[in-house]
Structure 1
């Protein structure tokens, strides 16, 4: 009788163990494939910041899903996804969005691009640099957004170039490829362009020299050929000095507001340099 009871107990334990839901990270969640990269690469190791299945990473995305982008100040934009995820770029806390974002990205060229004491309620803090001598490497899914980075070098205060000290962050959401150049200090090479891939929306510094000169930056913008180009990080020269680098192949327009709503369907057919209010 005791042996039979023991066997029944063990069987019940085994059944419960078999039926018990496994942790989210052990369910074999598919690794996202970048829809923006120009060349096929091996799948990245991914950190899932959300335990919800990344529905937005399905192959087909409704073309009318909209992303709101608001210029907050300096190099900080607030990106709001259709799924309700909010992302602040080059976040330092100096230029704070109206609400605490879910995700912030940072670069370390100057203190106006990062903070080491972010609001603890921010769910994901992504540094564009690494402190262990290796390039920063982010492949993160947060809700309906896939965030990755491509590292570039930056000038140190002594003038020498620091390898991989800056990151170009790329946000893949609603079928769009949105790129933020960060504090870019040199022109990109073919490897960089291949790793970046297609960018539908490009956030570009237009300071005229603190990052790169207008001519160098215009060559990067021309090569990327994004549909919507959002200037940022303007210090010193007027933004018109940057606009003069582009001919009739680009439209230029000054916005009446600090925000723009964009979808795959609404992307301009001709590249548009769109200066949001506040730049």
Structure 2
């Protein structure tokens, strides 16, 4: 193949992946996926130049329990683990849910919400989402959960990943199990990760520390705290993480402002 023809093909593929996606469920190239040649050692790949979107800030607000509201530079509003009690004013464009408890989902979401993404499949089998809306791409990685009786229920939780402004932002949902290599490969890297820290029904604090490390997360946002002392969580995460307490429930982040040291940020209300 001639060099000009090869260059044309490469440029075409770049523009195809970089083009905005329409607001619909569709397959789209992830910019956060890992190239897993020899798990658990992986090379993380981003399919856009590092400077692209570096000035575009994403706003993340702690709304309550395990609900964070993610607002994209394009104005898309996303509420995680949505049950109607938090993050509903103003009404989000996209909500994600998980099946573990009624505090993580609602059977009667407001009909004005354009996209309701359940982390489980009501018809059985794993849920599968690949939603492109304006400047954000939303996908999920299913995991199992434990029932009240202690048994495992297959594919009843999802880790949701929001790819926007060059950032990879993940919400672990009501995670009950340690992640396998296949999960890490499907998730890729997460620049920002939201983790449940109650240490009861959800995964232990030690498990959360392992996950944050393996996902190469620059920012860790705790949630779902209940009675767990923040110090117990930050202490288990280890000396490799800085800790910041904010007097606001919101933060803004971009590729340019990601901290050099991995940092646990505790927003007001957590």
Out of 30, 34, 42, which is 1:38 matched to?
A: 34
Report the Cα offset of residue 98 of structure 1: 2.6
> Aligned to 2:211, what secondary structure does the other structure show?
helix
Distance in structure 1 (CA, Å) of the matches to 2:169 and 2:207? 21
Structure 1 stretches of at least 4 aligned residues deviating more than 3 Å after TM superposition: 57-60
Query: Which protein has the larger Cα radius of gyration, Structure 1 or Structure 2?
Result: 1
2:87 maps to 1:85 = no
Give unpaired runs (5+ residues) of structure 1.
Answer: 1-24, 41-56
- The CA deviation string for residues 185-207 of structure 1, in whole angstroms up to 9 with x for no partner, is 01101110000001000000011
2:210 maps to 1:214 = no
Report the Cα offset of residue 214 of structure 1: 1.2
Question: What is aligned with 1:203?
Answer: 194
Question: What is aligned with 2:223?
Answer: 232
Distance in structure 1 (CA, Å) of the matches to 2:74 and 2:212? 29
- In the TM superposition, what are the counterparts of 1:1-279 in structure 2 within 5 Å? 31-39=27-35, 59-60=48-49, 61-279=52-270
C-alpha contact (below 8 Å) 2:69/2:87 kept by paired residues: no
> Aligned to 1:220, what secondary structure does the other structure show?
helix
> Aligned to 2:140, what secondary structure does the other structure show?
strand
Report the Cα offset of residue 69 of structure 1: 0.3
TM-score, with normalisation over the residues of structure 1?
Answer: 0.81
Q: Greater share of strand residues, 1 or 2?
A: 2
Distance in structure 2 (CA, Å) of the matches to 1:245 and 1:191? 25
C-alpha contact (below 8 Å) 2:68/2:87 kept by paired residues: no
Cα RMSD (Å): 1.9
- The CA deviation string for residues 90-118 of structure 1, in whole angstroms up to 9 with x for no partner, is 00012234300000000010000000100
The number of aligned residues is 236
C-alpha contact (below 8 Å) 1:39/1:195 kept by paired residues: no
Report the Cα offset of residue 71 of structure 1: 0.3
Give unpaired runs (5+ residues) of structure 2.
Answer: 1-20, 37-45
Report the Cα offset of residue 222 of structure 1: 2.1
